[in-house]
Amino acid sequence: MVRIAYLGPEGTFTEAALLQLAAAGMVPDHGPATVRRVPSESTPAALDAVRDGVVDYACVPIENSIEGPVVPTLDSLAMGSPLQVFAETTLDVAFSIVVKPGRTVADVRTVAAFPMAAAQVRHWLATHLPVAELRPANSNADAAQQVADGQVDAAVSSALAAHHCGLTALADGVVDEPNARTRFLLVGPPGPPPPRTGADRTSVVLRIHNTPGALVAALSEFGIRGIDLTRIESRPTRTELGAYMFFLDCVGHIDDDAVAEALKALHRRCADVRYLGSWPTGVLAGAQPPPCDEAARWLARLREGKPDPAGGTAQ
């Protein structure tokens, strides 16, 4: 039995992501049957449950193609005691507009929505419920609960949450922007990374000495080794305005030589490097790091004093 915390209550997109991870066999050493889902009141609380040993993993959203980074996740990963990422999955974003059974659009005067959800269905609401008043909710599931409790007439929520609360959908698959997607991570206590698959992601948090050019120099450690840097996020360090830490994602695994070299170089160069893990992405997120086998064999031959039989001769 493996316990996995997620942003609850039941019915959130995060729970759906967790079910998807479990079904795909991406929870290390566990199949779907042995996963026990533990709702948590917030993303930081889910991560703290891992830190406290209350659960084995947490499933948390990390970024959304419309809203960008999920800041509480970033800040908890960077600021609390070290955690590590072991898997990821991506969900298409699509909301259900839910009401009590029997209600119609004409009955809706108030709509509850988690602010991030409200931002993604703004155009739909303006078109279909132009006069309804928008009320804040703490999550998509909380919005549905507000409908069930009679506090509001409708909610921007998920099909899963509607089902939990006995509600029906006025509309499903609602989202303003096509291709809206959210990426979720499976986070656990530090441990050996899952084996290299050839389609992996490695992530670090850097704190950089405050000298001109230091950020570019740190980023160059990736490019100079042919490593594809796929994401950079800055977050304030909370010490003063204008001081930042940087979240970097690259294609590759700590067991790719190029990535290992880049990590060592960052460790020497930066004020602090926090390793967030290397994990499989299923499909490649960019260009693979260059293979090092041939160069490593060449170096081994040099050390033995056996130069290249054919090549290596500058002729």
266-305 residues near a copy of itself, rule: CB under 8 A: 267-268, 272-275, 285-287, 290, 292, 294-296, 298-299, 302-305
**From the list 88, 265, 279, 280, which residue makes contact with a copy of itself (rule: CB under 8 A)?**
265
One-character DSSP codes across 161-204: HHHHHT-EEEEEEE-SSTT-EEEEEEEESS-PPPPP-SSEEEEE
Distance CA 198, CA 170 (A): 44
Quote the least distance from Cβ 203 to a copy of itself, whole Å.
Answer: 12
Considering the complex, state which of residue 33 and residue 216 has its C-beta at the smaller distance from a copy of itself.
216
- Which residues from 1-60 bind a copy of itself, rule CB under 8 A? none
Answer yes or no whether residue 171 interacts with a copy of itself by CB under 8 A: no
Helix (H, G, I), strand (E, B) or coil at 89: strand
Considering the complex, state which of residue 52 and residue 306 has its C-beta at the smaller distance from a copy of itself.
306
DSSP category for residue 55: S
Considering the complex, state which of residue 116 and residue 169 has its C-beta at the smaller distance from a copy of itself.
116
Which residues 6+ apart lie within 8 Å of 73 measured at CB?
A: 43, 44, 47, 60, 61, 62, 185
**From the list 35, 58, 78, 118, which residue makes contact with a copy of itself (rule: CB under 8 A)?**
78
Q: In the stretch 96-135, what mask flags binding to a copy of itself with x, by CB under 8 A?
A: -------------------x--------------------
Distance CA 172, CA 305 (A): 69
Which residues 6+ apart lie within 8 Å of 285 measured at CB?
A: 199, 201, 228, 230, 249, 251
User: Using an 8 Å Cβ cutoff, are 58 and 4 in contact?
Assistant: yes
Considering the complex, state which of residue 32 and residue 298 has its C-beta at the smaller distance from a copy of itself.
298
- Which residues from 132-151 bind a copy of itself, rule CB under 8 A? 136-138
Size of the site for a copy of itself (CB under 8 A): 96
Select from 23-31, 48-56, 81-89, 152-160 the region that touches a copy of itself (CB under 8 A). Answer: 81-89
Considering the complex, state which of residue 282 and residue 290 has its C-beta at the smaller distance from a copy of itself.
290
C-alpha distances in Å from residue 179, one per residue of 46, 59, 91, 153, 229: 27, 22, 10, 29, 22
Quote the least distance from Cβ 163 to a copy of itself, whole Å.
Answer: 25
Beta bridge pairs of residue 90 = 183
